[in-house]
Amino acid sequence: MKKHHDLGLSKLLLGDGIVIYKVEEKDDEVVLFAKSTSFMCLCPECGKPSVTQCSTYERTLQDIPIHFKVSSARVNLYKYKCENKDCSKKVFCERLSFAKRYQRRTDEVNTLLLSVSINESHKGASTTLRNIGVKTSNSSIGRLWDKMQTFEDTSKIHFIGVDDVALLTNNEYATVIYDMETHDLIALLPGRDGQSLREWLKEHPNIVAIARDRDSAYAKVINEFCPEAVQIADRFHLFQNLSSHIWEAMKKTIPESFVFKDGKITTQLIKKMPVLQVPLDSPALLELKAYDNSVPLDEFGQEVVYDNKKRDLDSKQYKEQAKNRKAKQQKIIEIQADFQQLDCSEKTTAEALNILAEKFDTGITTVRKYLKMTEKDIEAMSRPINYKKRTTLMDDYLNIIYKMLRDNISAPLIFSYILTLGYDKSYNTLSNYICLIAKNNFNKQIHQSFAFKWVDPPNINRLNRSDLREFITSRKGTGEEIKEELFLGAVKNYPVLLEFEAMYEEFHRILMGNQRNELDEFIEIYSEGYISGFVKQMKKDIEPIKNSISFEESSGFVEGGNHKFKLIKRICYGRMSLKNLFKKCWFAFKADGDYFKLSEMINQSFNRAS
């Protein structure tokens, strides 16, 4: 028997019982040649040890990449005869500790594939893995995921969070359930009408506390099957609902916008001023040669016909027109081909035209016109018809714009140059035409507001109604000192703003505090007035709302879990079934835990599958 020299890499790379005796390195691949050192093996059927070797065979397995090169192991193994005469298995193969039966990849590679694909789509994961030296495809990763199973006993869970999430854009929803203690996703149920939640609660009678939003369908099911459970309302949606009611009240009482002049509200109409990127007295403008509005000519002195019309070729209308033109082109080609095949010596031209007109369901005059068209005429049909443009105020400047763009002069310089020629019309119109001609003729994408921006004159500030609401409900962002000064200026004319601010701050203080009885006082004070509808809604769900005040637990983990769920859903491009989407999310949530071991999950799943 030939003896192989151990390179000392065996235990490190493949484990015990295997000797690596040769390594071949190619341009993009590393091959490990190995041999089994075992001379005894247990029969997988009866468990009796056997030392009778009858033959050898070679297994080629993809291994973890080495220096971003594809790595493979070619392992020579033995086949044994079972020494138990009563055993049904006469010959069996030696098993590997680092790969299951029939696998073409080692367990470490499978772990790597699943680890990368937990937070990526199968396509994205396969691309990433190929870049680091793992040969795989999105289909292979998908088959691995099909074998994976979730292992968790949820029957003893006591604290959960419930919410609804959108699956696709066609109003398809699902119900998500999270573990309040670990924040893991434990269930993904179809629909949000409460039916699937009802069945889930029947199988989980030990629920003690539930954090939920204020959906009436969930509340009804929970009250029916978990009447003793503590329900905790979602604070986020409470603040959102109050903000919506304040906004509706502000629409009725506060103007849409304010203009402040020297710190005081004014009713004077004050227009914004344009600020040019290239001032009219810039030296760059003086260096430009004189451009006129004469017809542009090419290098041979021929007139250049350019496109200055706005067309959205991606719109539904233009796409339909392009489709019709293509069909018409094909029809003309077929008519000309059929005419060539007709034997006009036996048939007159008029008879041939009649035959073609009847076959293609068109008029004789149209057929005659189609037959006269050349290949160039047919090819020209691929482009939209360039109809004559009506007269506009920009006609005196269009040729100038084209010639300056052809000379690679920057758009801001063109804009300012046109102004020096006496243009005093709409700045936006001029900006639009420069962008349009650049796109249609030179394939240049120019941002519309490239040459100017509108600013308020000095000592002028503007404040929108939405700015006031943001100041009342969040006070986040930059320039808060200026906003507060303007807010106080608006209060002088509209004192009701102080009332909106007081009710929001009072509710925020109560909900984020620990005195649940103060909520009754709030309801009594504001049961009539601007937010009476909000107060009426709270009365219907008052106990869960009070629980959100007195309990340390909140539904914040539910909203956080939803954000993570939506991220994974978008990564999967909406192509997964509900079952596979839950499996993907379950592993993604578990992977953040300190005690998560993917290799153990793989072994359990593959052993169960086999």
pLDDT tens column, 55-72: 888 889 899 898 889 999
- Distance from C-alpha of 241 to C-alpha of 1, rounded to nearest angstrom: 82
| 17 and 82 fall within a common domain | yes
pLDDT, residue 40, reads 86
Neighbouring CB atoms inside 10 A of 109's CB total 23
pLDDT over 50 (residue 121): yes
From 478, 481, 482, select the one nearest 461 (Cα to Cα). Answer: 482
pLDDT over 80 (residue 86): yes
Please indicate, yes or no, if residue 578 is contained in any of the structural domains.
yes
| 169 and 212 fall within a common domain | yes
Q: What pLDDT digit, counting tens, does each position of 229-251 carry?
A: 898 988 888 998 999 999 999 99
Strands (E), 425-536: 452-455, 460-464
Q: What pLDDT digit, counting tens, does each position of 479-534 carry?
A: 455 567 788 888 888 899 999 999 999 999 999 888 888 999 999 999 998 999 99
- Distance from C-alpha of 25 to C-alpha of 72, rounded to nearest angstrom: 11
- Distance from C-alpha of 515 to C-alpha of 509, rounded to nearest angstrom: 10
Q: Domain containing 582: what range?
A: 159-234+555-592
| 282 and 424 fall within a common domain | yes
| 202 and 300 fall within a common domain | no
pLDDT, residue 413, reads 92
- Distance from C-alpha of 133 to C-alpha of 28, rounded to nearest angstrom: 8
| 14 and 58 fall within a common domain | yes
What contacts 515, CB < 8 A, 6 or more positions away?
Answer: 549
At residue 602, the 3 state secondary structure works out as helix
pLDDT over 70 (residue 392): yes
Please indicate, yes or no, if residue 346 is contained in any of the structural domains.
yes
CATH number, domain of 580, equals 3.30.420.10
| 21 and 95 fall within a common domain | yes
Bigger pLDDT: 6 vs 78 = 78
pLDDT grade for 258, boundaries at 50, 70 and 90: confident
Percent over 90 (pLDDT), the chain: 21
From 177, 223, 234, select the one nearest 200 (Cα to Cα). Answer: 177
Phi then psi for residue 570, to 5 deg, are: -70, -35
End-to-end CA distance of the chain: 35
From 264, 170, 267, 162, select the one nearest 223 (Cα to Cα). Answer: 162
127, 147, 167: which is the final residue of a domain? Answer: 147
pLDDT, residue 156, reads 81
| 337 and 199 fall within a common domain | no
| 184 and 289 fall within a common domain | no
354, 380, 406: which is the final residue of a domain? Answer: 380
| 220 and 294 fall within a common domain | no
Do residues 210 and 176 lie in contact, with contact meaning Cβ atoms separated by under 8 Å? no
Find the range with the poorest average confidence among 107-111, 390-394, 531-535, 555-559: 390-394
Do residues 370 and 332 lie in contact, with contact meaning Cβ atoms separated by under 8 Å? yes
Please indicate, yes or no, if residue 474 is contained in any of the structural domains.
no
At residue 57, the 3 state secondary structure works out as strand
8-state DSSP, 427: H
| 79 and 204 fall within a common domain | no
Do residues 538 and 549 lie in contact, with contact meaning Cβ atoms separated by under 8 Å? no
* Angle between helices 364-372 and 316-341 in degrees, nearest 10: 90
Please indicate, yes or no, if residue 478 is contained in any of the structural domains.
no
Do residues 468 and 497 lie in contact, with contact meaning Cβ atoms separated by under 8 Å? yes
Do residues 102 and 167 lie in contact, with contact meaning Cβ atoms separated by under 8 Å? no
Tokens of 362: 């068109």
pLDDT, residue 1, reads 43
Number of helical H runs and strand E runs in the chain: 24, 17
* Angle between helices 556-571 and 235-253 in degrees, nearest 10: 90
pLDDT, residue 400, reads 94
pLDDT, residue 479, reads 47
pLDDT over 60 (residue 345): no
Do residues 394 and 430 lie in contact, with contact meaning Cβ atoms separated by under 8 Å? yes
Do residues 416 and 276 lie in contact, with contact meaning Cβ atoms separated by under 8 Å? yes
pTM (2 d.p.): 0.64
pLDDT, residue 355, reads 85
- Distance from C-alpha of 366 to C-alpha of 347, rounded to nearest angstrom: 20
DSSP states of 439-453 as a string? HHHH-----TTSSEE
Please indicate, yes or no, if residue 91 is contained in any of the structural domains.
yes
pLDDT over 80 (residue 575): no
- Distance from C-alpha of 243 to C-alpha of 531, rounded to nearest angstrom: 10
What contacts 36, CB < 8 A, 6 or more positions away?
Answer: 17, 18, 19, 75, 76, 77, 78, 94
Neighbouring CB atoms inside 10 A of 179's CB total 20
pLDDT grade for 478, boundaries at 50, 70 and 90: very low
The number of distinct structural domains making up the chain is 5
pLDDT over 80 (residue 581): yes
Please indicate, yes or no, if residue 489 is contained in any of the structural domains.
no
H, E, C per residue of 263-304 = CEECCCCCCCEEEECCCCCCHHHHCCCCCCCCCCECCCCCEC
Please indicate, yes or no, if residue 328 is contained in any of the structural domains.
yes
pLDDT over 90 (residue 378): no
Do residues 296 and 303 lie in contact, with contact meaning Cβ atoms separated by under 8 Å? yes
pLDDT grade for 162, boundaries at 50, 70 and 90: very high
72, 104, 136: which is the final residue of a domain? Answer: 104
pLDDT grade for 594, boundaries at 50, 70 and 90: confident
pLDDT over 70 (residue 386): no
Percent over 70 (pLDDT), the chain: 93
| 31 and 167 fall within a common domain | no
Please indicate, yes or no, if residue 265 is contained in any of the structural domains.
no
| 357 and 407 fall within a common domain | no
pLDDT over 90 (residue 36): no
pLDDT, residue 470, reads 85
Q: What is the mean pLDDT of residues 453-466?
A: 84
pLDDT over 90 (residue 176): yes
Neighbouring CB atoms inside 10 A of 496's CB total 14
pLDDT, residue 477, reads 44
pLDDT, residue 571, reads 85
Bigger pLDDT: 447 vs 106 = 106
